[in-house]
Amino acid sequence: MKIKVAMKSPVATVEPGTTAAQAETLLAAAETRGLPVVEGRRLVGMVYRRDLLRLQPSTVPALARYELAYGPSRLCVRDVMRSEVVAVAPDADVQEAARMLSGREAEALPVVDGGEVVGLLGIHELLTVLVPELERRWPPRLRRVLAAVGTSDRTPPALPAALALARRHRARLILLHVLPPLRRGLAAELGQDVLDRIVDQRCADARQWLAASVPEGLEATVAVTEGDEAAEVVATAARDAVDLIVADAATARTIAHEAPCPVLAVPAWRTTHASR
């Protein structure tokens, strides 16, 4: 891609005799971080926002009293501009400009054609054109999605959202259901063998229900455990290195600060509304 496609044009310029205060105002109006300094049509330097910020008086009153005498209203661009400037041509490649910006303190590069400033290429302009190109070549993709699925009479809110994301990104889907712990003392009342059979049956029923929720052709792992839901979801996400957790709003609130990855909260009303 050529620089002329990405550069900012037309571009505001200043002269060496322009006051620093006027240059700062022009920078803000132009929404850029640098201004070419010209004499006639010839480029003689660049003045950057960071250079003008250094002219602001100190926040310490005792120092500010002395610094005001050399403030932006009294200094000119020639006093703060950078005379050693590297310019680029409109037909140069943006990759060349990116390398130049990354290896220098400059925040923007003037674009010169036939000795005249015709544009400006800064980091903002580079990102504006490079990010869509990078996303086109390497689309952002989720590789592992964890859905914290609770049982309910209706479809759990997180389930359809997780299924849609997994299908869209061709991601591996992990469906996790955390069973609430059984009441303490049941082993003494029922016997350990009976309790073990109850626990096994609960897990088997939950796995069967989760497996039936996965559409054909979608790669998914079904996991059922018992304990504190928030702790189990966070632990599973960390162990399996997932890229996203999808959960109902209540669960998302309890894990947001501990989760090792972003959390997508799905309100219950979305499922109800979508089913109408």
pLDDT of residue 154: 54
Q: How far is it, in rounded angstroms, from Cα 3 to Cα 97?
A: 8
Share of the chain above pLDDT 90, in %: 25
Name the pTM for this structure.
Answer: 0.48
What is the Cα–Cα distance from 101 to 265, expressed in whole angstroms? 39
Q: What are the CA-CA distances from residue 28 to residues 33, 111, 133 (Å)? A: 8, 20, 28
The overall longest dimension of the chain from CA atoms, in Å, is: 96
| Predicted pLDDT of residue 66 | 46
Range with the poorest average pLDDT among 2-11, 78-87, 201-210, 247-256 = 201-210
Q: Which of 13-27, 158-172, 190-204 has the lowest mean pLDDT?
A: 190-204
| Token pair recorded at residue 140 | 């952002």
On the 0-12 / 13-18 / 19+ scale of CB atoms within 10 A, 247 is: buried
Q: What are phi and psi of 144, to 5 degrees?
A: -135, 125
As a whole number, the mean pLDDT across the chain is 82
Domains of the chain: 3-137 (3.10.580.10), 144-274 (3.40.50.620)
The CA distances from residue 44 to 128, 184, 205, in Å, are 28, 82, 77
83: helix, coil or strand?
coil
The tokens 């201004």 sit on which residue? 35
pLDDT, tens digit (0-9, with 9 covering 90-100), for 101-156:
876 667 789 999 988 999 999 888 888 887 777 767 766 678 999 999 875 545 67
Residue with the two structure tokens 């060349």: 96
